[in-house]
């Protein structure tokens, strides 16, 4: 099934099944479908979509270099590079590569992209640790089932709440642990024609684990997960993009645009709050399922 059709099926699943099962359906999409071709396009102002169809990669033009969020799968790197060039940018002008979380579908292409660009890689403390392990972090709920990838060394650690300035763009890091220990969401402003909007690249929030891992056995992790959900809900957020675009209905919004410059369907000041609320219900359902299984 082509990803565009499968996306509709997954959306339907999300409406009728517990969120954990819908999230599992997203995870079970073959890599070839995650990496399906997608023409790059401007989201708004200085911000562009340059990833394949199933895995977001977002490019920001700061005026003094490019910032790239996530690198997709190992096999996504060449597509992302081609998209950057197709938009008229140079890959070597990518100065920063910022990671949402260090799983192979969002970090697998980072090593190749850094080699092509010479960019600095940035992540949270726990995210940097997992990147340097090539995804093999025993503290990750998906440890043992998530594919590994080429380790990324010499990662710059970004503090929670740290504001990073590149050119005329300020990017803020928000630690949002849960999906992984190092999960990080990022915010910045994009402006066009005198109108500035808050951009949020909010990390995955699904409570997915390897066989044998139970969140109820890790109360401190669950507490951190809930804190991360609260952080996402409070993000400055006019336009939301998530590492898996379908997790936030991104393609449905894009399809409603009347023209490439029509931003109205993408703007939703409640998007991050709703995204976090849905994830909180999914986490509660997962915990309830684990408790029921323990009885």
Going from N- to C-terminal start, the domains of the chain cover 3-294
Write out the H or E segment, with its range, that includes residue 261: none
Each residue's pLDDT expressed in tens, for the chain with a length of 295 residues:
334 433 433 333 333 233 344 344 445 555 678 999 999 999 999 999 999 999 999 999 999 999 999 999 999 999 999 999 999 999 999 999 999 999 999 999 999 999 999 999 999 999 999 999 999 999 999 999 999 999 999 999 999 999 999 999 999 999 999 999 999 999 999 999 999 999 999 999 999 999 999 999 999 999 999 999 999 999 999 999 999 999 999 999 999 999 999 999 999 999 999 999 999 999 999 999 999 986 5
Total Cβ atoms within 10 A of residue 243: 27
C-alpha separations of 195 from 23, 192, 211, 238 in Å: 35, 5, 48, 12
CA pair distance 211, 236, nearest whole angstrom = 36
Give the CATH number of domain 3-294: 3.60.15.10
Inter-axis angle of helices 19-27 and 3-16, nearest 10: 160
Cβ-defined contacts of 218-221 (< 8 Å, 24+): 221/141, 221/177, 221/181
What number of CA atoms fall less than 13 Å from residue 235's CA on the CB side? Answer: 39
Inter-axis angle of helices 271-294 and 19-27, nearest 10: 100
- Residues marked active site are found at 101, 103, 105-106, 179, 213, 244
CA pair distance 195, 26, nearest whole angstrom = 35
Strand 66-69 to 58-61 pairing:
antiparallel
Backbone angles phi, psi at 79, to 5 degrees: -65, -40
C-alpha separations of 24 from 18, 209, 253 in Å: 10, 10, 23
């Amino acid at each position: 099934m082509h990803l565009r059709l499968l996306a509709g099926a997954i959306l339907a699943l999300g409406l009728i099944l517990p969120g954990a099962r819908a999230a599992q359906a997203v995870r079970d999409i073959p890599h070839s479908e995650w990496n399906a071709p997608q023409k790059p396009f401007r989201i708004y102002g200085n911000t562009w979509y340059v990833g394949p169809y199933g895995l977001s990669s977002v490019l920001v033009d700061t005026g003094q270099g490019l910032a790239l969020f996530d690198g997709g799968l190992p096999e996504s790197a060449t597509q992302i590079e081609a998209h950057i060039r197709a938009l008229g940018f140079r890959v070597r002008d990518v100065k920063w590569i910022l990671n949402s979380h260090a799983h192979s579908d969002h970090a697998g292409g980072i090593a190749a992209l850094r080699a092509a660009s010479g960019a600095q890689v940035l992540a949270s403390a726990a995210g940097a640790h997992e990147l340097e392990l090539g995804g093999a972090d025993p503290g990750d709920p998906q440890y043992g089932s998530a594919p590994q990838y080429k380790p990324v060394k010499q990662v710059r650690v970004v503090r929670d709440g740290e504001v990073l300035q590149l050119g005329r763009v300020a990017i803020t890091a928000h630690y949002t642990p849960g999906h992984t220990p190092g999960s990080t969401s990022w915010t910045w402003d994009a402006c066009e024609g005198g109108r500035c909007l808050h951009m949020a690249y909010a990390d995955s929030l699904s409570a997915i684990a390897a066989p044998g891992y139970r969140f109820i056995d890790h109360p401190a992790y669950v507490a951190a997960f809930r804190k991360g959900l609260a952080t996402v809900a409070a993000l400055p957020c006019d336009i939301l993009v998530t590492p898996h675009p379908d997790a936030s209905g991104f393609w449905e919004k894009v399809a409603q645009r009347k023209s490439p410059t029509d931003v109205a369907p993408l703007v939703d000041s409640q998007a991050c709050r709703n995204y976090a609320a849905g994830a909180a219900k999914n986490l509660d359902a997962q915990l309830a399922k684990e408790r029921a299984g323990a009885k």
